[in-house]
Amino acid sequence: MPDLADLTDALIALIPEDGSRITNDQIQAALEQEAGEPISDDALKEIKGLVVAMGAAEGVKGPGGGLKAPGVAAPALAAPAASGGRTRRSGSGATPAAPSSTIAPGTTAASVLTGELRNQIDRIWDAFWSGGIANPLEVLEQLTYLLFIRRLDELETLEERKALRTGQPMARRLFPEGSDSRDRPYGQLRWSRFKELAAAEMYELVGESVFPFLRTLGSDGTAYAQHMKDARFTIPTPALLQKVVDLLNAVPMEDRDTKGDIYEYMLGKLATAGTNGQFRTPRHIIELMVAMTEPTPRDVMVDPACGTCGFPVAVGEYLRTHHPEILSDPELREHFNHGLFHGFDFDTTMLRIGAMNMLLHGVENPDVSYRDSLSEDRASEESKYTLVLANPPFAGSLDFASTSGKLQRVVKTKSTCSGGGTAHCELQPC
């Protein structure tokens, strides 16, 4: 179990900045995920007491208890709809139970985020547009790289703090000791260091050292590092890079839910379909499909045309809500982070974005891989998965010669789907 200081730091990072509270149940679930084992009520009380004593939070009274940011007023709640003085009841005369979630099905990331956060993301997007990058896919790709660089720095900082408290050497160094091929110390490649540089110096460092460093990370075996091996730095000017780094640095990314909603909001700006038919399935459709399939903690799910990983992300969120034991049971948590999620695509940009989407939604190492899911060499995997969720592309063509023979015996086609964006497929029965 991590020491008390680590869990205290983890709890401080969970406190919402907008004045809303995090309940005792939410605190306990998050800290148990961090610790990898159950946390007693006494230990939880001690950790909360330390955070309050440090002035990092204040207690919340009432049902559910919890903590909130000190001195920050809670967000205003919408007034309840008028009911004419009557309470709606079921046929048995009992008052229906309150919904289990305050977020209605179909709620978009834009509606979950605060207005200030949406404005911050919009300003970043506008900065790219005015700076000469108008393709939303390229904007999101560059933002994905920068978010990954920032995440590496955050993980390195956590390792440093742990080593300092325990007096032990760092278990893992993301930024090695020594210098790169341009004699720049690897420590200078960290987000927290280069964000303070002047525009021209930052631009040179990021282009000549940071991105080449990203391309060397694939050996650590994670989905995120593997998809960074061909990272391209296409931000055209030092002024744009400095502006984007400053704006991105001001966006709070400590809380998993906030990180996920921010990235979902960015993904929502991908309004144009790509040459292979990529597009985002509406979030409420994804959530409906996931709810209908009722995933379980021991499922092995796959999306054979994963794109930005909307379905794997939704399965993860469903399991966190309906099966919270998945984060406290060591075996289930290992499966959740390393064996449950599989997503395939043959667009490397989509894979990078999808892997980052999973990372920001709290999945440590999903299998997000380059693959033609219809090819002959993957036909043997038909029994590997217990849950398949996908929305196949509505445009594009197939390499008929390499398509699975089993599939060809059912249907022959050289086109995925056609018909002006409809789901009408051109099928040729054998």
| Structure-block tokens of residue 102 | 């305050």
Reported CATH class of domain 109-249? mainly alpha
Q: How many CA atoms lie within 13 A of 354 on its CB side?
A: 33
Secondary structure of the chain as H, E, C letters: CCCHHHHHHHHHHHCCCCCCCECHHHHHHHHHHHHCCCCCHHHHHHHHHHHHHCCCCEECCCCCCCEECCCCCCCCCCCCCCCCCCCCCCCCCCCCCCCCCCCCCCCCHHHHCCHHHHHHHHHHHHHHHHHCCCCHHHHHHHHHHHHHHHHHHHHHHHHHHHHHHHCCCCCCCCCCCCECCCCCEHHHHCHHHHCCCCHHHHHHHHHHHHHHHHCCHHHHCCHHHHCCCCCCCCCCCHHHHHHHHHHHHCCCCCCHHHHHHHHHHHHCCCCCCCCCCCCCCCHHHHHHHHHHHCCCCCCCEEECCCCCCHHHHHHHHHHHHHCHHHHCCHHHHHHHHHCCEEEEECCHHHHHHHHHHHHHCCCCCCEEEECCCCEHHHHHHCCCCCEECCCCCCCCECCHHHECHHHHHHCECCECCCCCCCCCCCCECC
Contact 12, 57 (CB under 8 A): yes
Distance CA 17, CA 330 (A): 30
pLDDT at 427: 33
pLDDT at 52: 82
pLDDT at 255: 65
Note down pLDDT in tens along the chain; length 430 residues: 567 777 887 888 888 877 788 888 888 888 888 877 788 877 888 888 888 877 778 888 766 778 888 777 766 544 434 434 333 333 344 433 433 333 334 444 444 566 778 888 888 888 998 888 888 888 888 988 898 888 888 888 888 888 888 888 887 788 888 999 899 999 999 999 999 999 999 999 999 999 999 888 755 566 667 777 778 899 999 999 999 999 989 887 766 666 777 777 777 776 543 434 445 677 788 889 999 999 999 999 999 888 888 899 999 989 988 998 988 889 999 999 899 999 998 878 788 888 878 877 878 788 988 887 666 565 567 778 999 998 866 555 555 555 555 555 555 655 555 444 333 333 333 3
> Is 109-249's fold the same as 274-392's?
no
All residues at 6 or more sequence positions from 220 whose CB lies less than 8 Å from its CB, including other chains: none
pLDDT at 39: 82
pLDDT at 103: 37
Distance CA 157, CA 6 (A): 12
* CATH architecture for segment(s) 4-68: Orthogonal Bundle (1.10)
Contact 345, 304 (CB under 8 A): no
pLDDT at 378: 56
Which of these, 151, 164, 299, lies nearest to 225 by C-alpha position? Answer: 151
Distance CA 23, CA 67 (A): 7
- CATH superfamily to which 274-392 belongs: Vaccinia Virus protein VP39 (3.40.50.150)
Sketch the domain layout of the chain as residue ranges.
4-68, 109-249, 274-392
pLDDT at 405: 54
pLDDT at 84: 40
> Does pTM top 0.75 for this prediction?
no
